[in-house]
Amino acid sequence: MKSVLIIGMGRFGHHLAQNMLELGNDIMIIDIEESRLEDLVPYVTNVKIGDCTNPEVLKSLGVANFDLIFVCIGTNFQSSLEITSLVKEMGGKHVISKATRDIQAKFLLRNGADEVIYPEKDIAEKCAERYSMDNVFDYIELDDDHAIYEIPPLPEWVGRSIRESNIGRNYGVTVLGVRSTDGEKRIMPSADYVVNNKEHLMVLAERERISRLLKTIEKAKGK
């Protein structure tokens, strides 16, 4: 469990707070508008109303005591920049600020942000990657060359174990998990796990190798 301060309760701030709570973290939220906080009051023990561009408001929060501080100001970049800088000056351990453009990210990093996140950009890139490829049901980018893909099994894998199909050697991918059509997951299945046609495989692969495998899957489906 981590102690987390979330500054700015727009749409992204709300989703972040809800997910952080579900994961058992200790959350404090603050926004200048009381109306943005009301629906979370029953669930969050520390709710504050205030303008965090005011140093006195930030001092009252004890920013140095939090493991993580998210600056989620989406509509006023000047305020986001000021708050990021102030939070770091006051001893913020790890400051993550939201940006919508690369130029904003550069200024935020120069003014105290330890990390910058692009929620809209990240979602757009993930959607573009997923929906540009047939037979990809989910996608998690790891770096420029590697990602985790959720794909259907090749017909030749069905009814055979991962070892028998020799998936890693023949196709250059690593099976990290299995997801059934009803959503049940099996993480790191053994080499003796027998693949069936009512599940998807989550595989780690280089982009070039997954591209070849997806073409093979598409050809097999067309037979």
What CATH number is given to the structural domain containing 79? Answer: 3.40.50.720
- Give, for all 223 residues of the chain, the pLDDT tens digit: 899 999 999 889 999 999 999 989 999 999 999 999 988 988 888 999 999 999 999 999 999 999 999 999 877 899 999 999 999 999 999 999 999 888 999 999 999 999 999 887 777 777 777 777 778 888 888 877 888 999 999 999 999 999 999 999 999 999 999 998 777 888 999 999 999 988 999 999 998 899 899 989 888 876 5
User: Which residue(s) pair with 46 in the sheet?
Assistant: 28
Q: Which of 117, 147, 171 is the last residue of a domain?
A: 117
Do 136 and 41 share a structural domain?
Answer: no
CB atoms within 10 A of CB 143: 6
Give yes or no: residues 26 and 10 share one domain: yes
| C-alpha atoms less than 13 angstroms from C-alpha of 68 in its C-beta half-sphere | 18
161 lies in the same domain as 203: yes
Do 171 and 67 fall within a single domain? no
Which of these three, 96, 117, 138, is where a domain ends?
117
Q: Which of 54, 84, 117 is the last residue of a domain?
A: 117
Residues 103, 130, single domain; the answer is no
CATH number, residue 130: 3.30.70.1450
The pLDDT value recorded for residue 31 is 94
Looking at the fold, whether 79 and 128 belong to one and the same domain comes out as: no
Total tally of structural domains belonging to the chain: 2
Residues 182 and 158 in one domain: yes
Give yes or no: residues 194 and 128 share one domain: yes
Do 77 and 166 fall within a single domain?
no
Domain carrying residue 154: 122-222
Contact predicate 210/203, CB 8 Å:
yes
Are 65 and 8 within one domain? yes
pTM of whole model > 0.85?
A: no
Q: What is the 3-state secondary structure (H, E, C) of the chain?
A: CCEEEEECCCHHHHHHHHHHHHCCCEEEEEECCHHHCHHHCCCCCEEEECCCCCHHHHHHHCHHHCCEEEECCCCCHHHHHHHHHHHHHCCCCCEEEECCCHHHHHHHHHCCCCEEECHHHHHHHHHHHHHHCCCCCEEEECCCCEEEEEECCCHHHCCCEHHHHCHHHHHCCEEEEEEECCCCEEECCCCCCECCCCEEEEEEEEHHHHHHHHHHHHHHHHC
